Every structure is written in C-alpha cells, then in structure tokens.
Amino acid sequence: MKNIKGPAVFLAQFMGDEAPFNSLDSICEYMAGLGYKGIQIPTWESRLIDLAKAAESKDYCDELKGKISAHGLEITELSTHLQGQLVAVHPVYDQMFDAFAPAAVHGKPTARTDWAIDQVKKAISASHNLGIDVHATFSGALLWPMMYPWPQRPAGLVEVGFKELADRWLPILDHADTCGVDLCYEIHPGEDLHDGITWEMFREACGNHDRVKILYDPSHFVLQQLDYLQFIDIYHEHIKMFHVKDAEFNPSGKVGVYGGYQDWANRAGRFRSLGDGEIDFVSIFSKLTQYGYDGWAVMEWECCIKDSEQGAQEGAPFISDHLIAVAKKSFDDFAGVDADEAFNRKILGLS
C-alpha cells in the first residue's frame, strides 16, 4: 500500500477574467491559501502555460515549476481534454467542437485533427520536460452518436470506429512511450472511451499499448449507473490519475439516465460539489490506497447549484480528510509471538 498525494485542484473550471482567477500567480496564491498542494494545468489556457515553449525548453519548464513552487504548490499533471476531444470528432459535432480549436482550422476537420494531435504530442513533451510521467486527456469520439443501438448498427461498424480511433492515437502513444509518459484517458460520456468495456476495446485496438491508462472520475460512473467501486477492483492496475468529483442520481417517473434534454439542474444525474452528492469517497480512497495508487487526488469542481469559490474552499479539507496514512505496522502486532519453521510445524502437529 502507498499514500495518495493531495489535495490538488484542476484549474480549468476556475480560470476567468477577474482576479484572482486571471493569472498564474494570482490563482496559485489563491489555491495555496485554501490548502491545496498541487495544481493540474489545462494546456489550452495560455495564461497558465506556453505549451509550445514547454514542449521545447526544459529551462522554461524549470522556471514554470519555480514560479509555482514559490506559492508552495507543484504541478500534478497537464491536461489536453479539449485537444484530445478533437483527435476524433464525428461530423455531426464539427461545428460545436470548432470552438475548442483556433479559428484557422474552423470548418476544416482534417486540419483540426492534425492540430489536435500535434497539441497532445506537445503536451506529452512538456510533461517529460516537467518531470511528470502521467498526462490527462480525452479520447475523442467517432461512435458516440451510435451509442444507443437504434437504429441497428451495421455489422463491423464498431470495429471500424475503434480501428480508426486507434490509428489516430498510436503515433501519439508511441511518442508518449518515448517520453516515458502514460496517457490517462478520462472515462467520460461523450467519448468513445466511456466505460470499462470501451476502454478495453480501445486498448486492444491499440495492440494493448502499455501507455493506455485511466483517469478515474467516479462522477461519470454515477451518471451512467456503473459500479464505480467494482471498477477500481477490476482496473486498479491501470488507474494512474484520479479526479475527485461528486455526483448524484435522482431518477423519477419523468427523467432517467438520458436526461430528457434538460439542463444540468433538472437532470436525474448531475454533478455536485464535494460532499453534496452521493459518492462513497471513504470506500474509494480506501480501495485506491489498498491497491497502491500513489498519484494525486485532484478536485475537479463542477456543480449546477453551488458557487465555484465555495466549492474550492470546501474541496481542500474534504480531500485532506479522506487521505489515508498507510499503516506502518499491523494493529495486532502487540499480540504476536516470535516463531521459526520448527515451531510452526509443531503447532500444526507435524514432525
């Protein structure tokens, strides 16, 4: 067993145009003041990181770490959730996802995919220069519009989709392997990797590539009604990152898993600030500790009711209260006796 690190916070949902959320120094000072020890950086946010420079210059990365360290923080991981989404986009989503990319590639799906792949590779190189061996991303999705089996899917469609997804990711994964960085795909609705089975299908399509890992976020499992504790039992050896995010599921006679096209506040499944949902974090932290997860516990704040600043203030102590200091000795050592093989054989009645 090993100790989980934390508390840390993903900065994506907090960045804005007003202080203290509009610059690296001010948001670091703010989060450190709340008790966070680490920050997960969204690489599309240029106020936090110059991704191109970080990919090329270890000196720049050392300076960036120094700035953050001056606030008593460290970088836990880099994220390319938005860029990873654009590695694979079904045409029905082209216009909606164009906003994730620069204007120069809007309306140009092939150019946008090339840009996204380059961005993820740069982030992997930057992670290596920062001395970080895990990276957070989305898989993107070619098959998500066909998630429900109606109309009936043509034979072989799913296999073609996963083969194409793997073909796009394999050069990225090989680059990650060269850099010594694991790619942790967040298992998330809207992605082709949205549960355990689809993660397995992708990994198999990638030839069981060693760098295909998991970012575990139980909130997305609650919304799908997937057993988030059993998931840890099954996939613990592949879980290399952890988003601490709460959620609840309140089905009724009117709305269920699919949400009825309602906004977040009126869906049966909705994200909540830490402690306000139904997730059993005591069991999650216990299982991850038992299985030897020694990465960061990173709060991702998303809530349709509570303000983000209150969520940030409550998040650090919530995570701290759930961190487990691994036992240094057995609780019943006081009752133990010294023994050797001869004594043990005597106890068992053996000559």
Q: Is the pLDDT of residue 351 over 90?
A: no
pLDDT on residue 346: 87
Strands, E assignment, the chain: 5-10, 38-42, 74-80, 134-137, 182-186, 212-216, 239-244, 246-249, 269-272, 296-299
User: Whose CA is closest to 303, among 256, 339, 267?
Assistant: 267
CA–CA gap between residue 14 and residue 309 (Å, rounded): 8
Task: Please give the torsion angle defined by the CA atoms of residues 330, 230, 223 and 141, in that order, rounded to the nearest 10 degrees.
Answer: 120
User: Three-class SS of residue 219?
Assistant: helix
Residue 217 has pLDDT above 90, yes or no: yes
Q: How far apart are CA 94 and CA 327, in angstroms?
A: 51
State the fold for domain 5-347: TIM Barrel (3.20.20)
Q: What is the pLDDT at residue 105? A: 98
Chain centroid offset of residue 327 CA = 27
Q: How far apart are CA 97 and CA 176, in angstroms?
A: 25
Query: What are 249-306's pLDDT values in tens digits?
Result: 999 999 999 999 999 999 999 999 999 999 999 999 999 999 999 999 999 999 999 9
Q: What is the pLDDT of residues 21-58, one digit of tens each?
A: 999 999 999 999 999 999 999 999 999 999 999 999 99
